[in-house]
Structure formats: C-alpha cells, structure tokens
Amino acid sequence: MIKHLLLLIMVLWVNTGHAQNITIRNFPVPNTASAEIGPLVSGQPTPFWNDHPQTRDEWNLWVSQIAQGTIKQLPDLREKMQVSVESTQFSGVPGFIITPKQVLPENRNRVLIHFHGGGYVLNPGEAGTDEAIMMAGYGQIKVISIDYRMPPDFPFPAAIDDAITAYREILRTYPAERIGVFGTSTGGGITLALMLKAKAQGLPLPAAITVGTPWTDMTKTGDSYFTHEGIDNVLVSYDGWLGDAANLYANGHDLKDPLLSPIYGDVQAFPPTLLVTGTRDLFLSNTVRMHLKLREAGNIADLIVFEGLSHAQYLMAVDAPETKRYFKESILFFNQYLAR
Amino acid sequence: MIKHLLLLIMVLWVNTGHAQNITIRNFPVPNTASAEIGPLVSGQPTPFWNDHPQTRDEWNLWVSQIAQGTIKQLPDLREKMQVSVESTQFSGVPGFIITPKQVLPENRNRVLIHFHGGGYVLNPGEAGTDEAIMMAGYGQIKVISIDYRMPPDFPFPAAIDDAITAYREILRTYPAERIGVFGTSTGGGITLALMLKAKAQGLPLPAAITVGTPWTDMTKTGDSYFTHEGIDNVLVSYDGWLGDAANLYANGHDLKDPLLSPIYGDVQAFPPTLLVTGTRDLFLSNTVRMHLKLREAGNIADLIVFEGLSHAQYLMAVDAPETKRYFKESILFFNQYLAR
C-alpha cells in the first residue's frame, strides 16, 4: 500500500518535470531531539529554498521580504533576552552593539564579535542580529554584530574587507586576548576567513572563535552536500538559492579562494575553535572537514553535533534545549580561553 | 532520461516486493575522503547486511564464515604492526595480550583494554583482535583484548559479566589511573556499559575511554537509524542482521536496560571519553547522543566525525589516513589522561 503510494508520487514527480531532480525525504520526528525543536525538525522545507532571483532588483526584493519576517520577531527577542541594541559603526563599517542588562563580572572587559549568516545575501541590517542578541543575553556579555556589505550591490571581497576593517578598529579598544568571534553558517565562514586575513596582515588573533555549521566550502564539495540533500529541511540543497548566492557573492572569483572557502586556507596557529552542526545538516561535511583540518594542524578544535537538526536550527527556537545548549557551550568555550 | 530510469527501478522495486523496503542510495565518492579509503566509501553494501540466520546452527555457521575472512588477514596485520599476540585468560575470561615490539617509555606501566565489535555475535576469538593489534602497533602500548562470550550460546548478560570480571582481574595488576578502555561499535557499547557496571560495583573507573561509533541504543531509536539507512554501506539498516542480533543477545531483556543500551544509563562521573563516527554512519546518532549526554552530565567528552565514512570504516583500511588518524587521536587522548 505504502509502496504503491510511493510509486504514484514517483510517477507524478517524473511527469511534472521538476527542474532540480531533488527529492525531499521525510522521516519520523526523532523523540531524541527535544519537544521544543520537534516542529522545526518535522517541518516542511523552507518555502524559499528553491527560489532563484535573477536580476539585481529581484535579489534585493527577495532579501527584503525575508528580512521583514525576521525583523518582526526582534523586539520580543530583545525583551526576552534583556538586551539593548545600539547602532554604530567601526571605521565606517556599520554594526550593532548589543548590551545585556547584566554583564557578568568576568565579562566586564571582554567583547564578542558576531557575523550573521545568510549566504552572503540575507539578513542585512538588524535582521542579522538575532544570534548576537541571544549570545549577549544567554552569555551576559557585550556583543558587537557587524553589518557587512553584501551583493548584489557589494560582492566579494566587500564582506571580508568590512570584517577586517571592523576587527582592526575593535582591536584599538580591546586586546585580542579579550576578544572572541563567532557566527553561524556564512557568519562562521566569515569568522574563519577573518582569521586567515588577520594572520596575513600580522594582526593578533582573537582568544577563541566559535563557528556554527560554517560555510567552509562554497563549491559543491563535501559529502553531505550529496548525502544530506533533501534531508536537511532548511537549506535542502546546494542547487537551491544557496549555489546562486555563492556565485553572486564570488562575482567571478575562484570559489576556492580561501577567503571564500576557508577550508582551502592555511589554518596553522588558529585560535581554539568550537564547531557545531547537526546530524541532518547539509553542512555536516563543511563542519567536520574544518574540524579535522584544524586538529591536524595542531589547533584546539572541539565539535558538537546536535541530534536530528538541520542547518542552524539551534538558532530557530529560542527556548529549545538545543538552543540553550549551543549558547551555553559557546559561552563555556569563550570563558575558558578569553582573558578577563 | 535519468528520471525515467529511476521510475523503472521504482516499478521493479515495488513489484518484486522486497521484504525490507530499504533503498540503497549511491552517491559520488567524495574526494574529501582519502584516496586510500575511497574504495570502501564507494563500495557495495556489505554482502551479509541483510542475512537473517534463524536457528542456533545457522547463527554459528554464519558467524564462523565471516570470522574466517577476518582471521586470514591477521598474520599480515600482526607482522605489519610488529606485535605479538598471546592467548590468556582473566579469572576464566579468555583474552589476548597484544605486545608491540617497542613500548614507548611513557607506556611502560600502562595498559589498554579492548572490546571488539560485531553486534554481540561476530568476531569470536582472534577474529576480534584487529583493532587491538592496530592500537598496540600504532600506539606502542600493551593492549588486552577481551574475548567475551556471545550468543546464541551465551546471551545477555554474559558479555558484560565477562567484561567486569576481566576488568576486576586487570585492576589487580594495574591501577585504574594507568588503564584505558576502548572499542568500536558493540565494543564501544560494552566499554560504556562497563563504566556503568563498575560504578555500580564501586570499582575505580579507568583514566580514559575511547569509543568508536558505539552501539549506545539497541532499540531503533535515534535519528540516523532512519536518515542514514541505505546511505551507510556497512550496516545499511537496523532491519538487516543488526536488529536480529540485538534481540538474540538481549534474549528477552528490555533493550533499554542501560547495560544493553548505555544511552539510558546514569553517566555522571564518567572518565574522559573520546567518541568517533562518520558522516554516513548509521550510528551517527548513537554517537552524538552519547557525546551530548556525557557533556551535559559535566564530563569531558570529545567528538570526531570522519568525512564520508560509514560505520567503523576507519578500521578497514590499515594505511588510510583516516585509520591512522583514528589511532593517533585515541593515543593522544589516552596519553593526556593516563598516569605514567
């Protein structure tokens, strides 16, 4: 009975001539993930995963529409996390200072720098602050979130240029040993690329970094791009909007440039790094490849893999144990390596 | 064209009425796994994954045939690893002492205890010594491999009883702080169950343990039993021989007994634990669930996930970088926590 239903679905799928040949795979909701995050795990694929904006205007409209959904949730999140957010700039690079109502004594002289995710196209302006707000609130530490420039108007190397400019400026106020840097997805990729760029410029590196499911390889290289296609319900496939975004940002540069794909960089002498992913994550390989590479080069590198989670879902349900765990592990990690 | 071929395959599959409804999924060989391990990654499923022995004789014959294949390779492996193997017993429990030609000075007073894998049914006698031989050789440390009793003749709790008996006996010669314990798959499960049992009996725990892709949940619980079915080409599915073996060993006991499925145990005050798995591993969830549980309980627990690997493939190509890495990481871990 089930098999004949599957056959019917298969026939329908073949006959509709779906452009991508991607099968969405559904599984039971694991009762080994938390009840709070269960609806995300069992949810339908992100509605926009297979959008393919073409023109500059289409990209900008698409980005703006998605940002509106995120921005609506921010007042509640700031209230819940008891943080205030102030818009500022660092040598001309815009950003946000997120200050919790209470800063822990050990965090008084520390700061965390945040880079948001979104494939180098999504989450402009305050839409990129949600992870930073949660880190500031859960960690009771000041966070600076960098609102780096993005395509279609500002392709590579605008984002990484902004990252290094802001980092240089923050180094004028905070010594590197009191700075941590973090980000998820593209934010993790930028964090890693920033280490490469800072090394190349002879700047001191931060005391520690945490990178959640980082985009370390912008080419479709890495096993889980294939094995987890249609399993991850957030990104779903490289061949959705994601691959388009890679090319839009790279703007003709080699996607294997280490500042685009830090997996191809020299990671010697990186700061201690915590990496986080999930068992269904399309970026599982992006994460574990970098973890192993960092260890092979003699760095301290810890890995956490969340049961049942697709890409970055640990950011998407503020009260879920997985979300709290992500921030707790990050905070413990920073606390271990940052000077007071 | 490809879609119509898939449709044809689907029709054939529906019409042949395959008993298991399991689809083997094939993917490109990732060039991000090593060339040496590539043939394993791209290999066909283990020929016996869907065998279902019924009677005692069928089980014993099946186990014996698979063991013969393993045993053939041991003389070369011992020679390559420069180890000697001596058969012995510990308070009546048979085992093997594996001594490398050269023992590192820091390892003179240390010993590692090994439990082999194989679903509580495979790898009796010396067939269970390959991982121990490689650890002794790569680590230049003495290893004791325990040849615990197995079903169909000796179901639960024979294996864990043998484990604790042997451990007690070894504690008469080595203080716990100079002992490490390790094992892969079922061997990892036994290692974890041994910690529970030793705690319950008030015995001192070893200084550190490493568990490769441990069988922490013998019920079909955990996301990757579903998401990675047909992706892992070693175990392929819980519904092959594996689930049968679980029930054969449990012999009517609740599969959620913590000595069968240590994920349900109290892991407070466990020794530092290194866990290892792969991105295609059917036991990815078995591994990461335990990793998170150990950390949540305040233990030191490190995780490594190998790119592209199915269950325990890091043991199956002695010269592969992944294999060497597995043993190197294990050795570094033991060296960090064992007293000299």
CATH label of the domain that carries residue B330: 3.40.50.1820
B287-290 long-range Cβ contacts below 8 angstroms, 24+ apart: B287/B211, B287/B213, B287/B214, B287/B216, B288/A279, B288/A305, B288/A306, B288/A307, B289/A32, B289/A307, B289/B216, B289/B217, B289/B222, B289/B263, B290/B192, B290/B211, B290/B214, B290/B216, B290/B262, B290/B263
The interface residues of chain B toward chain A in range 273-312, judged by CB-CB distance below 8 A, are 279-280, 284-285, 288-289, 291-292, 295-296, 302-308
What are the beta bridge partners of residue A179? A111
Query: DSSP secondary-structure letter at A105?
Result: G
Among B113, B130, B217, residue whose Cα is nearest residue B166: B113
Among B220, B182, B232, residue whose Cα is nearest residue B338: B182
Structure tokens at A297: 């080069």
Structure tokens at B62: 């099946």
The interface residues of chain B toward chain A in range 44-83, judged by CB-CB distance below 8 A, are none
- Segments of chain B with pLDDT less than 50: 1-19
Structure tokens at B217: 């949940």
How far apart are the C-alpha atoms of A116 and A138, rounded to whole Å? 17
Higher-pLDDT residue of B56, A7:
B56
Q: Is residue B288 part of a domain?
A: yes
B257 touches chain A (CB under 8 A): no
The interface residues of chain B toward chain A in range 146-175, judged by CB-CB distance below 8 A, are none
Q: Find the mean pLDDT for residues A141-151.
A: 98
Q: Find the mean pLDDT for residues A50-55.
A: 98
Reported as a single tens digit per residue, the pLDDT across B183-241 is: 999 999 999 999 999 999 999 999 999 999 999 999 999 999 999 999 999 999 999 99
Count CB neighbours of A127 within 10 A.
22
Please report residues of A whose CB lies closer than 8 A to that of B308. 223, 285
Contact status, residue B142 vs residue B114, Cβ threshold 8 Å? no
How far apart are the C-alpha atoms of B78 and B101, rounded to whole Å? 11
Query: DSSP secondary-structure letter at B7?
Result: H
Q: What's at A327, amino acid-wise?
A: F
How far apart are the C-alpha atoms of B240 and B28, rounded to whole Å? 24
The yes-or-no verdict on residue A13 having pLDDT over 70 is: no
The yes-or-no verdict on residue A10 having pLDDT over 50 is: no
Burial of A202 by CB count in 10 Å (0-12 exposed, 13-18 middle, 19+ buried)?
exposed
Residue showing tokens 């790119």: B307
Q: Is residue B30 part of a domain?
A: no
Average of per-residue pLDDT values in chain A: 94
> Which of B27, B223, B308 has the CB atom closest to A32's CB atom?
B223
Query: DSSP secondary-structure letter at A201?
Result: T
Sheet holding A143-146, edge to edge: A83-90, A93-100, A143-146, A111-115, A179-184, A208-212, A273-278, A301-306
How far apart are the C-alpha atoms of A237 and A244, rounded to whole Å? 11
Q: Find the mean pLDDT for residues A7-30.
A: 59
- Find the residue in B nearest to A22 (Cα): B3
Interface test with A, best of B5, B9, B233, B279 (most A CBs within 10 A): B279
Among A200, A210, A194, A204, residue whose Cα is nearest residue A160: A194
Query: DSSP secondary-structure letter at A220?
Result: S
Count up the domains in chain A and report the number: 1
What are the beta bridge partners of residue B180? B112, B208
Per-position DSSP letters for B185-246, written without gaps between them: THHHHHHHHHHHHHHHTTPPPPSEEEEES-----SS-STHHHHTTTT-SSS--TTTHHHHHH
Contact status, residue B27 vs residue B85, Cβ threshold 8 Å? no
Structure tokens at A296: 């092979």
Give the model's pLDDT for residue B20: 59
pLDDT-derived band of residue A21, with 50, 70 and 90 as boundaries?
confident
Q: Smallest CA–CA separation between B279 and chain A, in Å?
A: 7
Give the model's pLDDT for residue A78: 98
Burial of A102 by CB count in 10 Å (0-12 exposed, 13-18 middle, 19+ buried)?
exposed
B325/A296 Cβ within 8 A? yes
Reported as a single tens digit per residue, the pLDDT across A31-41 is: 999 999 999 99
Give the model's pLDDT for residue A189: 98
The residue range of the domain holding B307 is 47-337
B169-176 long-range Cβ contacts below 8 angstroms, 24+ apart: B169/B90, B169/B91, B169/B93, B170/B90, B170/B111, B170/B113, B170/B144, B171/B203, B171/B204, B173/B111, B174/B109, B174/B110, B174/B111, B175/B204, B175/B339, B176/B203, B176/B204, B176/B205, B176/B206, B176/B207
The interface predicted TM-score of the complex, written ipTM, equals: 0.93
Query: DSSP secondary-structure letter at A13?
Result: H
Contact status, residue A297 vs residue A267, Cβ threshold 8 Å? yes
Q: Is residue B31 part of a domain?
A: no
> Which of A32, A296, A325 has the CB atom closest to B285's CB atom?
A32
Torsion sign (Cα): B253, B259, B265, B266: positive
The yes-or-no verdict on residue A202 having pLDDT over 50 is: yes
Q: Is residue B2 part of a domain?
A: no
Distances (CA, A) of B314 to A292, B82, B323: 14, 20, 5
Q: Find the mean pLDDT for residues A20-49.
A: 92
Q: What's at A36, amino acid-wise?
A: E
Give the model's pLDDT for residue B6: 42
Average of per-residue pLDDT values in chain B: 94
Q: Smallest CA–CA separation between A219 and chain B, in Å?
A: 12
The yes-or-no verdict on residue A175 having pLDDT over 80 is: yes
